Amino acid sequence: MSKLLTVAVIGAGPAGLMAAEVLSAGGAAVTVVDRMPSVGRKLLMAGRGGLNLTHSEPFERFVARYGAAAERLRPMLEAFPPAALIDWAHGLGQETFAGSSGRVFPKAMKASPLLRAWLARLERQGVRFRLRHAWRGFEDETVAADATVLALGGASWPRLGGDGGWVKVLRERGIAVSDLKPANAGFDVAWSAGFRERFAGQPLKNISLRAGSTVVRGEAMVTAYGLEGGVVYAASAALREALPVTVEIDLRPDRSVEQVAAALARPRGKESLSNFLRKALKLSPLEINLLREAGPLPEALAARIKAVPLTLTAMQPLARAISTAGGVSFDAVDDGLMLKSVPGTYVVGEMLDWEAPTGGYLLQACFATGAFAARAILSRIGA
């Protein structure tokens, strides 16, 4: 470099820290600014469930998980694919493994060892941290630098730092920002009082959810307010835009309706219906009562078991969502993720307008966009 490049990274989450690592490794003087008293708070919270870093599925299928934003994110994901993220974790002494679903986790199954090793690396590379400082907007001279990386996150889990307050600041500057919406959140269902009291907190395992042409297989959790878990998270983008919407739950996705009907064809004798269903199809008390929750049981019971109708009336709010949809339009940034109207300022992570289901896709895109913008800065302003 002809002179020491200074960069301010605003936000100490995965995208911001990755940008700081790449920039400092490239010789830049980096200061990470965050309004919270410690860094990586959302990463640590995500780690309580095992820290799903990325996914091991084929790359094209992986990219497709990002839906409408897939092609916009493709260059970033190609430059920093899942294999690169896994190698990065290994470089920090955190060995990984792929579960049966293809999700990739650190063997430690938590975020704190990885974050400690990461911060130690950043310290060795000279990265400075300025905590308890809220970004005051584009005219904030206290964080003046040759380039700025905005990594302020979305608006989910606001108590951990990201509250979406930046939306107003960017819009006032004329930057196109789509409304922030909840993603990977649960949905309200009007359970009967008896069902809610008895079954809230119990899982529905090995089911599939159908909403129009969308079919997702996995698990869900019955809650006091409705339904959450993998199958609803995977379909949340489509469901959110269709509310209120009736979905169908297939309680036995491994069997055809004819096979279910055959199992129900044996003589019932004096058995109660619940005992009969438990023995014939191994339906749990939760599944049996879910059949009844959908209305009077029809004579064609096999069809009900294969398609239990549930009406989702609303989505849980942003504060209860795992991630955020909406954000800065990709049309507002150039090919290096720099804001076209604010030269020298880059946007990464959940601030950008993309969403993805849980399963490793969220962190992967945050890491990848952070690294991508950092390389663009080094290329544009460097030697």
Taking only the tens place, the pLDDT of each residue in 138-185 is 998 888 999 999 999 999 988 888 899 999 999 999 999 999 999 999
Q: How far does Cα 80 stand from its chain's mean position?
A: 18
Give long-range contacts, CB 8 A cutoff, 24+ apart: 190-196. Answer: 190/311, 190/313, 191/222, 191/224, 191/226, 191/293, 192/293, 195/289, 195/290, 195/293, 196/224
Query: Does residue 244 have a cis bond before it (omega within 30 degrees)?
Result: yes
Bridge partners of 311, per DSSP, are 246
Nearest to 31 by CA among 13, 14, 15, 16: 16
Cβ 330 vs Cβ 72: under 8 Å: yes
Q: What is the pLDDT of residues 111-131, one digit of tens each?
A: 999 999 999 999 999 999 999
Domains in the chain, please, with CATH?
A: 6-181+324-381 (3.50.50.60), 187-315 (2.40.30.10)
Percent of the chain with pLDDT over 90: 88
Q: What is the pLDDT of residues 14-51, one digit of tens each?
A: 999 999 999 999 999 999 999 999 999 989 988 787 89
pLDDT tens, N- to C-terminus, the chain (383 residues): 457 899 999 999 999 999 999 999 999 999 999 999 999 998 998 878 789 999 999 999 999 999 999 999 999 999 999 999 999 999 999 999 999 999 999 999 989 999 999 999 999 999 999 999 999 999 988 889 999 999 999 999 888 888 999 999 999 999 999 999 999 999 999 999 999 999 999 999 999 999 999 999 999 999 999 999 999 999 999 999 999 999 999 999 999 999 999 999 989 888 999 999 999 999 999 999 999 999 999 888 999 999 999 999 999 999 999 999 999 999 999 999 999 999 999 999 999 999 999 999 999 999 999 999 999 999 987 64
Q: Alpha-carbon torsion 85, 88, 90, 94, what sign?
A: negative
Q: CB atoms < 10 A from the CB of 197, how many?
A: 10
Q: Which residues of 332-364 are buried (b: 16+ CB within 10 A; e: fewer)?
A: bbeeebbbeebeebbbbbbbbbbbbbbbbbbbb
Cβ 54 vs Cβ 362: under 8 Å: no
CA distance 35 to 96: 31
CA distance 289 to 287: 5
Cβ 237 vs Cβ 325: under 8 Å: yes
Q: Which residues contact 299 (CB under 8 A, 6 or more apart)?
A: none
Angle at 371 between CA 24 and CA 362, to 5 degrees: 135
Rounded to 10 degrees, the C-alpha dihedral 231/236/241/246 comes to 20
CA distance 274 to 371: 55
pLDDT of residue 382: 60
DSSP string, 134-193: ----TT-GGG--SEEEE----SSSGGGS---THHHHHHHTT--EEEEEEES--EE----H
CA distance 225 to 189: 6
Task: Say what the pTM is.
Answer: 0.93
